Amino acid sequence: MVTVARLNVAVTRARHRVEVVASFHGADLPDNANKSVQHLKRYLHYAEQGPTVLATAAPDAEAAPESPFEEDVLAVLRDWGYDVQPQLGVAGFRIDMAVRHPGAPGAYALGIECDGAMYHSSRAARDRDRLREEILRGLGWNLHRIWGTDWYRNRKDAQRRLREAVEEACAADPYAPEPVSTPVPSTEQTPAEIAIVPVAESDRSEWSRPYRALGWEKPYELKDTLSTAAGLPGVDLRDPAAKAVVAEVAHHIITMEGPIEEDVLIGRVRSAWLLDRSGQIVQSSVRDALSRLRKKNKAVRSGTV
């Protein structure tokens, strides 16, 4: 019987070296609610692959897709018979969905990214996502990207490419160690010789006057949302009928203060309801409101709202 206490004793008593001998791999242990098994699984992963595996968070059994596009892709993968974990946390990021390896239920064969129309409309989002992809690949993740436009306009080809990527990833050995990158040998360089030519200092010209800021910036103006939200604390955010109220309040805040960061908007709604903290209920209520507003073309998301 594996317990956290016994595992702690087994892995913390050595001063210099630990050698692990096991008849199974960490990837052979499936994800379940038993925390002791999950600790053992992560320790075996660490012993086999090194510290990079610690970047992957434990999967959330209640995690769900964040858009109808992701729901559609997830349904297709599960119809094909694959075990898929949506919204997997890795190194502070979230992979839209990860396909578990059929030969090792505790290992992931492929990460899938779903990019909708908003991705194409924001250069900042593309640059940020490019860096994110480099980090994930550096941690050993095999990634496949699906474009929302391709999925809906050319679904047959998009599904074919997805299936090929999944089958190729699942055909790989789940127990193979991560490839070690070979550093590029440095080449000795000879410093360049730069001739220094003295230049006579001349009087300050008309065009070289000191730079002066013109003050064109428009300061951000913080509006008073509470004055427009009388009686809101009496509306229970858990009530389905409150969704329309939250959407109306969010639209008012965006109209008065936009563009506005999403976390700032969440804080403004929290203040409108006179709450002490922005918990999961507040966050999900605001995100649902933003989804409603985007469908009605009352809000556009591109880094800020």
What is 229-256 written as a DSSP string? -TTGGGS-TTSTTHHHHHHHHHHHHHHH
Calpha distance 32→28 (Å, rounded): 12
Report the chain's terminal Cα–Cα distance, integer Å. 51
- Kindly give the residue spans of alpha helices, DSSP state H, lying in the chain: 4-12, 35-49, 68-79, 117-120, 123-138, 148-153, 155-171, 242-257, 262-272, 280-295
Which CATH number applies to 68-171: 3.40.1350.10, 3.10.20.30, 3.40.960.10, 3.40.309.10?
3.40.960.10
Secondary structure (3-state) at 219: coil
Report the pLDDT value the prediction gives residue 5, as an integer from 0 to 100.
Answer: 72
- Edge-to-edge, what's the strand order for the sheet holding 143-147? 84-90, 93-101, 104-115, 143-147
Tokens 């009388």 correspond to: 230
Cβ-count burial 123-133 (b if 16+ within 10 Å, e if not) = eebeeebeebb
For 162, list phi and psi in degrees, rounded to 5: -65, -45
CA dihedral (195, 201, 204, 207) in degrees, to 10, reads: -30
pLDDT for position 254: 83
State the Cα–Cα distance between residues 17 and 46, nearest whole angstrom. Answer: 14
Mean pLDDT by 10 residues, the chain (305 residues): 67 76 71 70 68 60 81 93 86 82 82 69 58 78 88 91 93 70 55 69 58 53 48 70 82 80 84 80 86 78 57
Strand partners, 100: 108
Coil, helix or strand for 32?
Answer: coil
| Sequence ranges of the domains in the chain | 4-54, 68-171, 226-295
The reported pLDDT for the residue numbered 85 is 87
Instruction: State residue 158's pLDDT score.
Output: 92
Residue 21 has a pLDDT of 78
Q: Is 140 left (phi over 0), alpha (psi -120 to 50) or beta?
A: left
Q: Is 148 exposed, middle or buried (0-12, 13-18, 19+ CB in 10 A)?
A: buried
